[in-house]
Every structure is written in structure tokens, then in C-alpha cells.
Amino acid sequence: MNFRTFAYEDALFCYTIRKRAFTELFDLELTRAEISACVDAYALYDYVRMLKAGEFFIVEEDGSPFGFFTLEHRTRKKAEIPMLYLDLDRLGQGIGRECMLWLQNWITTNWPDITQLLVETVTPLANGGFYEAMGFTAAGHTTCHFSGHAIKAARFTKEI
């Protein structure tokens, strides 16, 4: 497994893998309208734009991508993981754990002032257990806005 910085040609991969997660995995937690809003919230150029907002990493094996995640500085001491997506066929293999450990090491090395990591998810039933297993603590609820839809989300935090 290799981690590298997002390249422009990765935009279609990121769009496709995120869309598949919403349409095939998150359909038990979200309505059809919410799924459409979440998928439609990011066009191909939005993934390129995200590179300018923070850090954007691709997870690959033998040159083939199978996951991605983004990281943004929120305050001097807080960072957020806005997105973490893996190919659905690779779930349950410990890859998410490896990604999270790699990311925490990256933060320690590159952003040493960060002491807290934040993640918000509109699909806490699908994702909450993973974040808790990685040492995150439930920290209440918030609202995410996608394509004009306000969708309830769970917030998780972790001291690092």
C-alpha cells in the first residue's frame, strides 16, 4: 500500500468511489434526496479545488488507487478529516486503520501543533464504529449542508 498526493487525473476516481459509497452503502441511513444532494455536492473540479483547501491523499497499490482522504487545518491546534473513502470491495481488511495511522503520523511530522482531530459524518451507523475503534469520541451532532440540503451529522474528536 502506498500513499501519495492527489493528482488532477485522480478526480474521476474520487468522484466515482464517493458516489458508490453513498449509493451502495449509505442508503440505509439517508433518504434518496439526501444521497443525491451528497453526491451532487462535488463535481470533478471540486476535487481539484480541495487540493488547495488542505491536504489530499490517494491510497493505492501497484499504481491503482483504491481510496482517498483529505485533511484540513481548522485552527492552530485542530485539524479535520473532511473525507475518507475506500473502495467498498476493500472494506473490513484493516486498510482504514492503516490510513488513519499513516495520517496521524503525517500530522505529527508536518503539523506538530495539532492536538485534536475532528471528523463529521452524515452516516454514523456506517462509520461511527470505525472512528470509535480508532480512538475518536462522540462529540455531539452538527448539520452538514450539501446542495441545499441540511443533513444531520455526528461529530467525533480525538486528542493526538
Q: pLDDT tens digits for 80-119? A: 999 999 999 999 999 999 999 999 999 999 999 999 999 9
The pLDDT of residue 53 is 86
Where does the pLDDT of residue 138 fall: very low under 50, low under 70, confident under 90, or very high at 90 and above?
A: very high
Residue 52, domain extent: 2-159
Helix (H, G, I), strand (E, B) or coil at 43: coil
Cell of 84: 475518507
As for how many domains the chain has, the answer is 1
Cell of 112: 506538530
Between strands 78-80 and 137-146, the pairing is unpaired
Q: Which of 97, 89, 70, 96 is nearest to 17 (CA)?
A: 89
User: How many residues are there in the chain?
Assistant: 160
The pLDDT of residue 13 is 97
Q: Which of 121, 79, 137 is nearest to 104 (CA)?
A: 79
Pinpoint the alpha helices (H) of the chain.
Answer: 11-24, 32-40, 44-53, 95-110, 124-133
The pLDDT of residue 52 is 84
Q: pLDDT tens digits for 30-43? A: 999 999 999 999 99
Where does the pLDDT of residue 147 fall: very low under 50, low under 70, confident under 90, or very high at 90 and above?
A: confident
* Residue found under cell 452538514: 144
Q: pLDDT tens digits for 9-23? A: 999 999 999 999 999
- What CATH code is carried by the domain that includes residue 97? 3.40.630.30
Mean pLDDT of the chain: 95
* Residue found under cell 485542530: 78
